[in-house]
Every structure is written in structure tokens, then in C-alpha cells.
């Protein structure tokens, strides 16, 4: 098999047209080294790409423009023309029009993923308000992809410092406690155990579970959920052979450096997990949706309207998301091969 044939094809949705999505895409793939590892296909339009390229003074960068996914060129940054409309861009501003085309890009990319025309999806940031429409009534990429691919996903943030997963994601804080149940916590732990094995090639990975309440409830003085819900879920996981531990009080867990001793951390709600994660890893983290039948990653930041079109956006997190997608494709293939041909153990004759 040739080197070109081995390169996985990575699909990329362009995100909000008025944000930094196209800028970080261009900056990532102007480096030829990454093109040795994958063949990218951006789902957007050549006119939008040209506008952004000129805005950030990257006129020497060129996409290989295609109108047919059979025409993907290995070793080149490809752009699939999803639309030919003239779209008025106002970089750095919220616009329902830019949200509409962000959804077009995402829809085309997901269709290609469903048809196995691409092997993974990396999503540039969308704006959760401007993308809302009758066709998109979700709080973000994760629940859209869950509905699209008919599977429950678990949001994991990955960096050199830690892997942080969330039991609940984009919901108001007042609704978190009623949602937390033994079944939910146990399911998240099981999903993370499976993801560590299949996606990260870590068998018997250690999972730390953070407490819902301050001080893990202090024996029920500050809430009984940790003793009555979280702890029993951890115990059930442990009885199934999963190395899950906790619940740990979240305030002291990171300050004491305990996060370095675990392969995965499960937080109960969004800010409990993302605040320490972004404090330690902002700009280099990757958002991964585990549990889906497809590979999807994204950078750990938003549209950054305030710097759009200025040429100063840092592509590091997006670049790491592409690298992660490449790794997950390879790891899943290895896991599939191992599961398809498990080693048989011979029983000793008595």
C-alpha cells in the first residue's frame, strides 16, 4: 500500500463564517508536515475561503477546490464546494446568515461521514445562538451528532495534562442535580472505560469521579447525592472490573495534583470539569465525543469573534484536534482487529 493510500481522509466543517474557523483551518494546513499524515477536506465554499485568506494575508495558500468527493487529492488541502451563493461576511459579528451556512457545512460533512467518504470529522467552532433554526435545535455539536448518528456520546476534553469527561454538558446548573442518577453515572463510567480501551489503547485505565457537592457532601451535611448516588455507581463499576475511584471533592483534587494519577476524570457538570481543564490547558486542548460510531474532534475554544479576521488566532488547539482524529482512527482500527480475532486461551486437561 502506498503512503498516500494510508493517509486518513479527515473532513472539516468550517464553523461560523464570521468567526476564526477558516483562519485556524488555513493556518493548520499551510504547514506541509501535517499533510504527510492526513488528507483534509474542508466543507465550505471557495469564495468564503478566498475572503478569509485575503483578510488574514495568506494569499499564497491555496485549496484544491473540488465539486465531487471522488476528486479528493491526497497530500493537498482540499475544499469541497458546498454552495455557490454569494454570502455577505462581516467578520467578528453575530449573524443568522453565517449560522445558516455553518449548518450547511456541518450537514454536508456528516453526510460524507455517513457514506464513508471521510474517516473522521473535525468541527471548527459554531456560535450556539446564530446556528439555531428549525433544523438545528441543539445546544451544540455533541447533541446534534448524538441525534444524527443515533448514539449517546460522552464529551471528553483531552490535553497533555489530563483527560476530562462530563456527566452532563450544556444544561443550566439548576437542572444538574435532578439529572444525576446512579444509572447515568454508571453509564458514563462504563463508556469511559470502553473509550480508554478502544480510543486511547489504555486497558484497565484508572477513572477518577468528582463529587457533585462540596467536600463530597461532608457525610450528608452538604447533600446526600454523593453517598446515595455517586458512590454506589462507582462501587457497581468496580464490581464489573472497572478501575473507578471516588467521589473526590473537586476543590482539592486539582490543587493536590491528583489529576496526574488517573487516566480519565469524570466531572458532574460543565464548569466543574472545564474550569480546571482550561486553566491548565487552554489553547492546546481537544474536545472529543466518545461513544459515537464515528470519530469527531474539535478545538477547545469558541468562535472568538473579537479577533476574527485579524490574523492573530492561534491554530494550536485545532491542529491538536486534527492529530487526535488521526490517532483515534488508527486506535479504533486496532481495537476492531483485536476484538475480531481475540487470542484463544487453551484449557489445561485435568
Residue 137, class by beta-carbon neighbours within 10 Å (0-12 exposed, 13-18 middle, 19+ buried)? exposed
Confidence of residue 341 (pLDDT cuts 50, 70, 90): low
Confidence of residue 343 (pLDDT cuts 50, 70, 90): low
If asked whether residues 16 and 145 sit together in one domain, one would say yes
Q: Is residue 90 part of a domain?
A: yes
The residues with which 108 forms a beta bridge, in sequence order, are none
Q: Whole-angstrom Cα distance, residue 208 to residue 70?
A: 45
- How far does CA 62 lie from the centroid of its chain? 27
Q: Whole-angstrom Cα distance, residue 307 to residue 311?
A: 8
On the question of pLDDT at 141 being above 80, the answer is yes
Q: Whole-angstrom Cα distance, residue 209 to residue 237?
A: 11
Q: Whole-angstrom Cα distance, residue 282 to residue 306?
A: 17
Predicted pLDDT of residue 53? 96
If asked whether residues 187 and 60 sit together in one domain, one would say no
If asked whether residues 88 and 180 sit together in one domain, one would say no
Q: Is residue 349 part of a domain?
A: no
Q: Whole-angstrom Cα distance, residue 251 to residue 226?
A: 15
Q: Do the Cβ atoms of 166 and 291 come closer than 8 Å?
A: no
If asked whether residues 248 and 136 sit together in one domain, one would say no
If asked whether residues 230 and 314 sit together in one domain, one would say no
Q: What is the DSSP string of 133-185?
A: BTTB-SSSHHHHHHHHHTS--EEEEE-SS-EEEESS-SS-GGGHHHH--HHHH
pLDDT over 70 for what percent of the chain? Answer: 96
Number of domains in the chain: 2
If asked whether residues 211 and 222 sit together in one domain, one would say yes
Confidence of residue 142 (pLDDT cuts 50, 70, 90): very high
Q: Do the Cβ atoms of 223 and 216 come closer than 8 Å?
A: no
Domain that holds residue 37: 1-151+292-340
If asked whether residues 123 and 182 sit together in one domain, one would say no
Taking all residues of the chain, what is their mean pLDDT, rounded to a whole number? 92
Q: Is residue 203 part of a domain?
A: yes
On the question of pLDDT at 50 being above 80, the answer is yes
Confidence of residue 345 (pLDDT cuts 50, 70, 90): very low
257 φψ region: left (φ > 0), alpha (ψ -120 to 50), beta (else): left
If asked whether residues 324 and 313 sit together in one domain, one would say yes
Strands of the sheet with 9-13, listed across from one edge: 64-66, 78-81, 39-44, 9-13, 120-123, 296-299, 286-290, 154-158, 163-166, 264-267, 207-210, 244-248
If asked whether residues 83 and 60 sit together in one domain, one would say yes
If asked whether residues 140 and 5 sit together in one domain, one would say yes
Amino acid at each position: 500500500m502506498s503512503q498516500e493510500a494510508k493517509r486518513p481522509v479527515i473532513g472539516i466543517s468550517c464553523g461560523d463564517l464570521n468567526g476564526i474557523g477558516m483562519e485556524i483551518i488555513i493556518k493548520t494546513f499551510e504547514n506541509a508536515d501535517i499533510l504527510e499524515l492526513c488528507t483534509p477536506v474542508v466543507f465550505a465554499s471557495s469564495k468564503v475561503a478566498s475572503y478569509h485568506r485575503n483578510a488574514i494575508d495568506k494569499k499564497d495558500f491555496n485549496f484544491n477546490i473540488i465539486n465531487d468527493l471522488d476528486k479528493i487529492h491526497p497530500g493537498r488541502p482540499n475544499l469541497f464546494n458546498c454552495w455557490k451563493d454569494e454570502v455577505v461576511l462581516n467578520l467578528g459579528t453575530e449573524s443568522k446568515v453565517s449560522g445558516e451556512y455553518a449548518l450547511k457545512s456541518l450537514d454536508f460533512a456528516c453526510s460524507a461521514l455517513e457514506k464513508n467518504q471521510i474517516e473522521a470529522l473535525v468541527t471548527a467552532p459554531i456560535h450556539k445562538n446564530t446556528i439555531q433554526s428549525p433544523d438545528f435545535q441543539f445546544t451544540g455539536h455533541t447533541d446534534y451528532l448524538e441525534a444524527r448518528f443515533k448514539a449517546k456520546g460522552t464529551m471528553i476534553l483531552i490535553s497533555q495534562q489530563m483527560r476530562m469527561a462530563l456527566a452532563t454538558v450544556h444544561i443550566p446548573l439548576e437542572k444538574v442535580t435532578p439529572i444525576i442518577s446512579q444509572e447515568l453515572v454508571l453509564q458514563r463510567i462504563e463508556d469511559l472505560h470502553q473509550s480508554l480501551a478502544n480510543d486511547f489503547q489504555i486497558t484497565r485505565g484508572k477513572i477518577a469521579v468528582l463529587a457533585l457537592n462540596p467536600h463530597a457532601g461532608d457525610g450528608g451535611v452538604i447533600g446526600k447525592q454523593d453517598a446515595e448516588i455517586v458512590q454506589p455507581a462507582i462501587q457497581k463499576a468496580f464490581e464489573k472490573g472497572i478501575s473507578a475511584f471516588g467521589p473526590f471533592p473537586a476543590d482539592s483534587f486539582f490543587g493536590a495534583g491528583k489529576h496526574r494519577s488517573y487516566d480519565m476524570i469524570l466531572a458532574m457538570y460543565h464548569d466543574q470539569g472545564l474550569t480546571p481543564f482550561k486553566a491548565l490547558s487552554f489553547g492546546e486542548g481537544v474536545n472529543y465525543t466518545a461513544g459515537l460510531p464515528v470519530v469527531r474532534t474539535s478545538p477547545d475554544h469558541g468562535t472568538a469573534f473579537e479577533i476574527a479576521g485579524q490574523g492573530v488566532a492561534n491554530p494550536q488547539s485545532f491542529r491538536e484536534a486534527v492529530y487526535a482524529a488521526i490517532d483515534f482512527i488508527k486506535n479504533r482500527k486496532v481495537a476492531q482487529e483485536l476484538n475480531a480475532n481475540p487470542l484463544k486461551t487453551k484449557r489445561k486437561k485435568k
